[in-house]
Amino acid sequence: MRKVLNRLYDRLAEIACRESWMIGVIDEPITNAINWKKCPPVRWLSGRSSKRYLADPFAWPGSCDTVFCEEYDYKTKIGSIKRLKIKNDRIIFENAETFPLKGHLSFPFLFEREGTVYALPESSAARELALFKWEPISNEWVKIASPLEGAATADSILFEHGGLFWIAYTEVSDVHPAHDNLNLLYSTTFEGPWQPHKANPVIRGSSCSRCGGTPFYIDGVLYRPAQDCSRCYGGALRLMRVLECSPESYREEEASFLSPTDFQNPDGLHTLSAWGDRCLVDGKRHVFSPMEVLRKLSRRIARICG
């Protein structure tokens, strides 16, 4: 009965609601997540808006007050990257970040290496997986490599393992549905050349393929946050323990499952990223929208009429 009710709720939400995401802070380091039985209390950083939502939060490496995230505009249906300044659990300043990529941008994965900050934003609309370096003198993002071109890739992360650099991503296309595959590229350097894994896609299925945040190590073991989209997009998170990652093979197993429990955002949880001794998450609520109903109805009529 519970499964039937859940499917009915999801179907009604799909028809009559739009997704409203919020970003928030948990006062525990990301390494504690493998022991969580449920998501700890979240301090949400902004209120809900009828014009936009904020999702996919990643902290600027080494900063205690700077967070990058996606801003999704309900009117244009396009996402962009925002840099936020946080003070006392409030967003006190925000600024649009410019990347030389066209179309929708989201999931601004940030990492630091040898004192330099890099970004790997999602740019599936541009059909280019691009790696950027922050240049503080010119105050701009400079593209240093395009590990993959001609493919729509989503929610990519970069990590080092076994003496190699790795990029994990999901391909979103008619051939590969948006949530059911995990692919790997590897290289000896940032600049490449990047090679596709022999077994791509190395993971299949909507319950743990798409990346959901910052990879991290505990006692030399690599963990990968992954989105569980089996019920709905971004419905929950799974922490996957990587058992083997080499150019020949890839294996992982589930270490923990995190479902949304917060009453403000009970319908989704799809990003978990490191922020020093804290971590960042986002949460989703389905919000009833008459305009969304009309939009979907008009699209259905247009399809019927050809």
* pLDDT band of 187, cuts 50, 70, 90: very high
Most confident of 166-170, 230-234, 286-290, 291-295: 166-170
Boundaries of domain holding 99: 2-305
Q: Tell me the CATH number at 211.
A: 2.115.10
pLDDT at 94: 96
**Can you tell me which residue has the tokens 């922050």?**
134
CB contact burial 74-92 (16+ within 10 A = b; e otherwise): beeeebbbbebebeeeebe
Are 224 and 211 contacting, i.e. CB atoms less than 8 angstroms apart?
Answer: yes
How many domains are contained in the chain?
1
* pLDDT exceeds cutoff 70 at 218: yes
pLDDT at 193: 94
Mean pLDDT of 288-293: 69
pLDDT at 219: 97
Read off the pLDDT of residues 144-170 as tens digits, 9 standing for 90 and up.
999 999 999 999 999 999 999 999 999
